[in-house]
């Protein structure tokens, strides 16, 4: 101790603070950190290292208070999730670590359950920004992180936010980056809803398969089997021996009353998650007229992702007739217009830049046809001549690229993938 420098002595003095001074200083540092984190993560005036240090202070405060930190989640959880969506990998890692420490300190089994338990606070904070038409990327980043962390468990809490998102899209559809960020959130919601099993979306409904089947041509073997079945049934029902006369004593016995026909049960109501995915899919189709090819591809992928969770196999027959099939009819013209633009006599293969969009549109149309079944038979038949013309155009482009680049390289190109998708569709 005699050889200790004045600088070491000063450091030890600050590190060995009295207990009555430690808590006020920690509270002051925590309050200052929240002021830093309340500002946008995209604010260039704040260095990312200052934000990372503020996240560390929040984590230390949570570890110090334990379960008593739960009331502080109203103010602390939103900025943590916002930094988790940051483009800065170091800041993002700090936010992930901070959220993990906070969930452990609050005695939550996982970070996702912590977010679900505090969904009301987060939804209200996001709703304030959306309802005031705050077009900064903060709200969309927080919503995206909420969905990615919690999966389908958070979807029932987002109904009001989805309405606000479409209200913003209606007013700011001319801002491609904003529109794309909002549709990324909607796409994440649909993907998480589709990833969950139908029982997770409709836990109380016993589902029955739809009687509609894909169209199948009748063959001679099918006709012969049907005739044999009818013949065998008629042989079994023909009387071979006379029926015995009824016993008069037994005939005096009153016949039991015929059972009353059971009344048709009303179909159970849809879950909130199912209704939200249906609403998102239906409203997304109207935004396919956007001039941005990457955004159109995102919207087409969203539609294709939503159909497995909305198909007839996961709904009742009444829902199939009144909800799913009208949705299929609504989506069909919007999707086909991405393949055959109305103002062009030729398909969208005219420009090579549109090939990725055409590929995504064909994939979506294939998914639509698979789930629509025989309901789309007449529509598909009307579109068949145009599809045949498109098939020959894609085949010629694919063969030309194969001769130029070779089979191995051409098979990895967009032209080959588009042609292969066309083969699968037709």
Torsion (CA) 106, 110, 113, 114 in degrees, nearest 10: 30
Taking only the tens place, the pLDDT of each residue in 206-260 is 333 444 444 455 566 766 677 676 667 666 555 554 545 545 544 444 555 555 5
Residue-level pLDDT at 260: 54
Other beta carbons within 10 Å of 1: 6
Compute φ and ψ for 322, nearest 5 degrees: -100, -15
- Phi/psi zone of residue 66: left (φ > 0), alpha (ψ -120 to 50 degrees), beta? left
Residue-level pLDDT at 264: 47
Residues of the chain with pLDDT under 70: 1-23, 197-220, 222-224, 227, 229-231, 233-270, 312-321, 343-353, 410
Contact 412, 420 (CB under 8 A): no
Residue 321 tokens read as: 């007739």
Q: What contacts 14, CB < 8 A, 6 or more positions away? A: none
Cα–Cα dist 302/284, whole Å: 8
Residue-level pLDDT at 176: 83
- pTM (global) more than 0.95: no
Long-range contacts of 316-321 (CB under 8 A, 24+ apart): 316/205, 316/207, 316/208, 316/267, 316/268, 317/208, 317/210, 317/211, 318/267, 319/267, 319/270, 320/210, 320/212
Tokens 């991405």 found at = 338
């Amino acid at each position: 101790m005699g050889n200790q420098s004045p600088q070491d002595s000063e450091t030890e003095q600050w590190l060995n603070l009295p207990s009555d001074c430690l808590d006020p200083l920690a509270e002051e540092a925590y309050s200052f950190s929240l002021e830093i984190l309340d500002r946008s993560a995209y604010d260039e005036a704040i260095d990312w290292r200052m934000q990372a240090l503020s996240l560390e202070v929040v984590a230390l405060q949570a570890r110090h208070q334990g379960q008593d930190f739960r009331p502080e989640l109203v103010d602390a959880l939103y900025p943590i999730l916002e930094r988790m969506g940051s483009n800065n990998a170091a800041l993002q890692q700090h936010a992930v670590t901070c959220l993990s420490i906070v969930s452990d300190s609050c005695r939550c089994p996982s970070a996702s359950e912590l977010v679900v338990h505090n969904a009301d606070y987060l939804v209200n904070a996001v709703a304030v920004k959306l309802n005031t038409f705050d077009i900064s990327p903060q709200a969309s980043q927080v919503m995206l992180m909420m969905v990615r962390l919690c999966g389908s468990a958070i979807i029932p809490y987002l109904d009001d936010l989805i309405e606000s998102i479409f209200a913003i899209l209606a007013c700011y559809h001319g801002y491609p980056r904003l529109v794309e960020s909002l549709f990324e959130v909607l796409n994440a919601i649909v993907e998480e809803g589709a990833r969950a099993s139908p029982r997770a979306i409709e836990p109380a409904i016993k589902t029955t398969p739809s009687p509609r089947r894909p169209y199948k041509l009748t063959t001679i073997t099918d006709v012969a089997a049907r005739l044999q079945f009818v013949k065998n049934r008629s042989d079994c029902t023909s009387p071979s021996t006379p029926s015995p006369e009824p016993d008069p004593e037994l005939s005096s016995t009153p016949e039991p009353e015929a059972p009353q026909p059971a009344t048709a049960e009303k179909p159970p109501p849809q879950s909130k998650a199912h209704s939200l995915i249906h609403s998102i899919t239906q409203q997304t189709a109207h935004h396919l007229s956007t001039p941005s090819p990457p955004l159109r591809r995102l919207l087409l992928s969203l539609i294709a992702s939503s159909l497995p969770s909305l198909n007839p196999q996961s709904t009742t027959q009444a829902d199939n007739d009144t909800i799913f099939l009208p949705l299929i009819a609504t989506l069909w013209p919007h999707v086909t217009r991405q393949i055959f633009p109305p103002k062009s006599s030729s398909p969208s293969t005219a420009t090579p830049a549109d090939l990725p969009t055409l590929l995504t549109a064909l994939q979506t149309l294939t998914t639509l046809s698979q789930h629509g079944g025989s309901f789309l038979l007449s529509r598909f038949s009307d579109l068949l001549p145009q599809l045949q013309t498109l098939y020959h155009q894609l085949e010629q482009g694919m063969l030309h690229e194969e001769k130029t680049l070779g089979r191995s390289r051409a098979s990895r190109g967009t032209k080959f993938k588009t042609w292969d998708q066309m083969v699968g569709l037709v």
